[in-house]
Amino acid sequence: MRQIIQTFLMGLAALAAAPAAAQATEPRPVRIVVPAPPGGSLDASARLLVQKLSAVTTESYLVENRPGANTQIGTEAVVRAAADGRTLLFAGTGVIFLPLLQKVAFSPMTDLVPVAQWSAEQYVVVTSAAGPLQAVADLATARPAGLNCAAYPGVSTIACEQLKARLGGRSTTVPFAGIAPAANAVMGGHADVLFVNLEPVHKLITGGRLRVLAQSKGAGFAAPTVAEAWPGFVLEGHAGVLAPAGTPEARIQQLNRDINRALADPEVAAHMREGGQEPVGGTPQRYADNLRRSLQLYGDLIQKLDLGPK
């Protein structure tokens, strides 16, 4: 009898230990850090990517929003993470020129490595549909005291500063943590204009809450292009996935293949194009080349506008 009881207890112990052992060896989820609040284009794109990656791979993925300090908090969290390919950054163009605007303890060009470009972005210049601004020309005359330009980190901030220069200083850049609060400020009449990715405001435009004053070429609205409104104005950007420097090349290539598989899905591509994003994909080198081009383009502009740390 004693032997039977001992055998039974040993069996129970083995059953209890099995789940714990399996849990210990099971890979942890891949975190995709978004350095912006929920509700913006980066967040929506990252969640679309996670949804598709979870369907086409055997790994589990999750989005982690870490906004703050002009995207510095989320970006630095990835820079400091283990270089094992299980903590990634989903970032816009602003990540590459962040050190040109403020003092940071890292270099995106050396402390991060490109994995894959997700999209090229369409932009619109919007105002409240209920407000007084009807056309681009009104920006120069509507408010003698000057405009309030809502801005979120990255390309939007640089656009507001360009507008300020074009208006001879008669515009104030009002910073917001993300696209959603910036758009709400414009719709509520607390700011006059917003330079923004098309995707997160598309429904607000078609729903009659925001009016398009200007747009990227091909955005599809009855408004002039930004180039027509302001020759030489820079308003372009992209989004993509980066990993901590030192991540094994084999892991980078695996992630790149998986992201390209996600972009190849016709439903994903159609969803992106409907919101004003062009799927890109391609090799890590292609994304690296685009990042370097953006750094040169915006670096020259930041220097011209004297926007660097004082």
Q: What CATH number does residue 113 fall under?
A: 3.40.190.150
Residues 285 and 194 in one domain: no
Greatest extent of the chain over all pairs of C-alpha atoms, in Å? 97
Q: What is the pLDDT of residue 22?
A: 43
> Does residue 16 lie within any of the structural domains?
no
Residues 157 and 202 in one domain: yes
Of the three residues 177, 205, 229, the one that is the final residue of a domain is 229
C-alpha span between 23 and 91 (Å, rounded): 31
> Pairing mode, if any, of strands 112-121 and 277-279?
antiparallel
Cβ-contact 241, 90 below 8 angstroms? yes
When the pLDDT of each residue in the chain is averaged and rounded to a whole number, the result is: 90
Element (H, E) at 125: strand 123-128
Residues 78 and 219 in one domain: no
Residues 261 and 213 in one domain: no
- Burial string for 24-51 (b: 16+ CB within 10 Å, else e) reads eeeeeebbbbbbbbebbbbbbbbbbbbe
Of the three residues 179, 212, 229, the one that is the final residue of a domain is 229
> Does residue 176 lie within any of the structural domains?
yes
Residues 250 and 112 in one domain: yes
Residues 251 and 192 in one domain: no
Residues 128 and 224 in one domain: yes
Which residues touch 228 (CB under 8 Å, ≥6 apart)?
214
Cβ-contact 221, 76 below 8 angstroms? no
Q: Kindly report the backbone phi and psi dihedral angles of residue 175, in degrees, each rounded to the nearest multiple of 5, phi listed first.
A: -80, 140
Q: What is the pLDDT of residue 248?
A: 97
Q: For residue 61, which amino acid is it? A: Y
> Does residue 218 lie within any of the structural domains?
yes
Residue 245: domain span: 30-121+236-305
To the nearest 10°, report the CA torsion of 196, 67, 63, 24: 170
What the block records as the tokens of 77 is 């969290």
Q: In the chain, where does DSSP find H-type helix? A: 2-25, 41-56, 72-79, 94-101, 108-111, 155-166, 179-187, 198-206, 226-229, 249-263, 266-274, 284-305
C-alpha span between 91 and 75 (Å, rounded): 8
Three-state secondary structure call for residue 123: strand
Count of domains for the chain: 2
Residues 59 and 190 in one domain: no
Residues 288 and 252 in one domain: yes
What the block records as the tokens of 88 is 């990634």
Q: How many residues does the chain have?
A: 310
Residues 180 and 206 in one domain: yes
* pLDDT per residue of the chain (310 residues) written in tens, 0 to 9: 455 445 444 554 554 554 544 444 567 899 999 999 898 889 999 999 999 999 989 999 999 999 999 999 999 999 999 999 999 999 999 999 999 999 999 999 999 999 999 999 999 999 999 999 999 999 988 777 889 999 999 999 999 999 999 999 999 999 998 899 999 999 999 999 999 999 899 999 999 999 999 999 878 898 999 999 999 999 999 999 999 999 999 999 999 999 999 999 999 999 999 888 999 999 999 999 999 999 999 999 999 999 988 6
* Cβ atoms within 10 Å, residue 90: 27
> Does residue 216 lie within any of the structural domains?
yes
Residues 218 and 92 in one domain: no
CA torsion sign for 88, 93, 97, 102 is negative
Single pTM value for the model: 0.86
> Does residue 184 lie within any of the structural domains?
yes
Q: Report the Cα 295 to chain-centroid distance in Å.
A: 16
Three-state secondary structure call for residue 10: helix
Of the three residues 229, 247, 273, the one that is the final residue of a domain is 229
Residues 67 and 139 in one domain: no
C-alpha span between 41 and 275 (Å, rounded): 10
